[in-house]
Amino acid sequence: MAGTTIIMSKLKHIIRLRSNGVPLQTIAKASGLSRNTVKKYLRLIEVNKLGHEDLLKMEDAVLDAVLNDPKPQDGTRYQSLASLFGYIEKELSRTGVNRWVLWGEYRLLHPDGYSYSQFCDYYRQWKNTMAGSFHQTHQPGEKMFIDYTGKKLSIVDPQSGEVTEVEVYVAVLGYSQLTYVEAVASQKKEDFIIATQNALHFFGGVPRVLIPDNLRSAVQKADKYEAEINAAFMDFANHYGTTVLPARGRKPQDKAIVEKTVNIAYSRIFAPLRDRIFYSLSSLNQAIAQLLVIHNQQNFQQHAESRSELFDLQEKKALMPLAAERYEIRIFKEVTVMKNGYIQIYEDKHSYTVPYRFIGQKVKLIYSASHVYVYYKKERIAYHRRVKSYGYTTTPEHLSSTNQFVSEWNPDKFINWAAAISPVVKEYIIQILGSASYPEQAYRSCVGILSYEKKVGAARLIKAIERATNYGAFNYTMIKRILEKGLDKIAFGEEASSQSSLPFHENIRGPQDYQ
């Protein structure tokens, strides 16, 4: 009898049919075996006085060994040994433990047990039977496989009733096959990275290699020999001290575990949720988490342990520690430093300084939700806290002497400057600061106006501001015209009489045009 899972599955099928009183000929047709083969194994079971219920509970590998033992009548002795195989496998991973040590312990419990060579042969047969379909092909803590399910789940908008399909992310550890599943809005790199981070925290540690399928959110350019990982996912992997090795195209063995897990997810998660309605991703993920606990705690079909048990016993301790802080998704851009020594994050309309010697240079801008980094030829030249509102963040040391003066501009500076000249000037400056659309525009007007104190003297400046205030015009241009034409030297009455001789013309502007 061939020692394969298929034959053992058929044998269990035969046992069930026989237990239900099905005739021998019918059993043979149903199982696709000859009548004599069916009869042979049923006779073997009968001679060895093996109970049907006990046989059906056996793992395929154990059942195979029991019925292929050179001494079938010794099935009970084999079962005693077979019950220890899982324990033997665990103990062999411990320092100083080998098969000879474990055989000695076995003989103390079973003085009439197998010899050392038989002990090793039976264990080897059991392990070979399990290999290829279980965790022995991967080392504990080595790999985490990542993919999305082909099918999708959905959420419903409680207001409009609109149904939105959502992606389902799956991550599975190669050794224990402990599984993480999460519904996400999309396969975009932001959602992909957040889900991968959630998976690492769910596992409580970091594997040495992340193996995504060739997803656009992880792989910028697929290649048979050396795929190009996108910068964001590579940055994420570096943050957690792991590496990325995408599955090779047309190499199903590279992702067999995660594809198998996806199929299991369909039956253990999708199916139980198929008639339920969810109104948010969070409620859907709560339901997924509950089913995920059941899945991870359910024993393997061909192994006496669950994924959770195997993980806790052997894989958890092999994972690398998590990073001290969670990763923040970063945006990577190439920008040119502006002439004023700033670079800008356009979605925030906020600008940040870099050292003035880099003005006009192309630099790499990297920013997360809380930080801004600027690099030039792999050297970090600036670092700032991110501000998500209009304005400027300035490091004085970054600016030239001229720009440092400009960077100190603020409303208080100009109000105090004006107040030192006259209360009239102060009120005029406050009006300008309050009416300008952009602060920088107002600051430049204030500098121009207040600079006239040195050019023409405080008295003339005060007179010009009084006249401009009378016109209702609060801007630099009006002050400049008044001073250039000497109108500050003319009394209001004299100005009126001198202008009365001028012909009226519709193109001559009045006070309303200066408001």
| Dihedral sign from CA coordinates of 102, 105, 109, 115 | positive
pLDDT on residue 202: 96
Phi and psi at 315, nearest 5°, equal: -100, -35
Residues 6+ apart with CB under 8 A from 149: 167, 168, 170, 262, 265, 266, 270
pLDDT on residue 439: 64
Cα–Cα distances (Å) from 24 to 41, 56, 67, in that order, read 12, 19, 19
d(CA 482, CA 486): 6
- Name which of 316, 311, 384 is nearest 345 in CA terms: 384
**E strands present in 55-178:** 143-148, 153-156, 163-173
pLDDT on residue 179: 95
Are the C-beta atoms of 127 and 89 separated by less than 8 Å? yes
d(CA 125, CA 81): 12
d(CA 301, CA 237): 34
Neighbours of 374 (CB within 10 A): 24
d(CA 88, CA 98): 9
pLDDT on residue 414: 85
Cα–Cα distances (Å) from 204 to 148, 149, 168, 311, 315, in that order, read 21, 23, 21, 11, 11
Phi and psi at 372, nearest 5°, equal: -130, 130
Q: What letter does residue 311 receive in the DSSP assignment? A: I
How many angstroms separate the first and last alpha carbons of the chain? 102
pLDDT on residue 319: 94
**Burial call 218-247: b when 16+ CB within 10 Å, e when fewer:** bbeeeeeeebebbebbebbbebbebebbbb
Task: Mark the ranges of the chain whose per-residue pLDDT is less than 70.
Answer: 1-10, 13, 17, 20, 29-32, 47-50, 54-75, 128-137, 214-230, 247-255, 302-303, 400-409, 436-441, 492-515
**E strands present in 159-275:** 163-173, 179-184, 209-212, 219-221, 228-229, 243-244
Structure tokens at 372: 């801004």
Neighbours of 439 (CB within 10 A): 15
Residues 6+ apart with CB under 8 A from 478: 468, 471, 514
Place of tokens 């069916």: 38
Cα–Cα distances (Å) from 120 to 61, 125, 148, in that order, read 15, 9, 42
**Burial call 87-125: b when 16+ CB within 10 Å, e when fewer:** ebbeeeeeeeeebeebbeebeeeeeebbeeeebeebbeb
pLDDT on residue 316: 93
Q: Hey, what domains does the chain have and what are their CATH numbers?
A: 5-130 (no CATH), 143-318 (3.30.420.10), 331-399 (no CATH), 409-514 (no CATH)
Are the C-beta atoms of 50 and 19 separated by less than 8 Å? no
Are the C-beta atoms of 211 and 219 separated by less than 8 Å? no
| Dihedral sign from CA coordinates of 443, 449, 453, 458 | negative
Per DSSP, the three-state class of 401 is helix
Q: How much is the pTM?
A: 0.50
Q: Which amino acid is at 56?
A: L
Q: How many CA atoms lie within 13 A of 124 on its CB side?
A: 7
pLDDT in tens, 466-486: 988 888 888 888 999 989 888
CA 373 to chain centre: 20
Q: Which amino acid is at 73?
A: Q
pLDDT in tens, 490-503: 876 555 544 444 44
Cα–Cα distances (Å) from 295 to 45, 129, 178, 386, in that order, read 34, 24, 9, 42
Structure tokens at 267: 């039956």
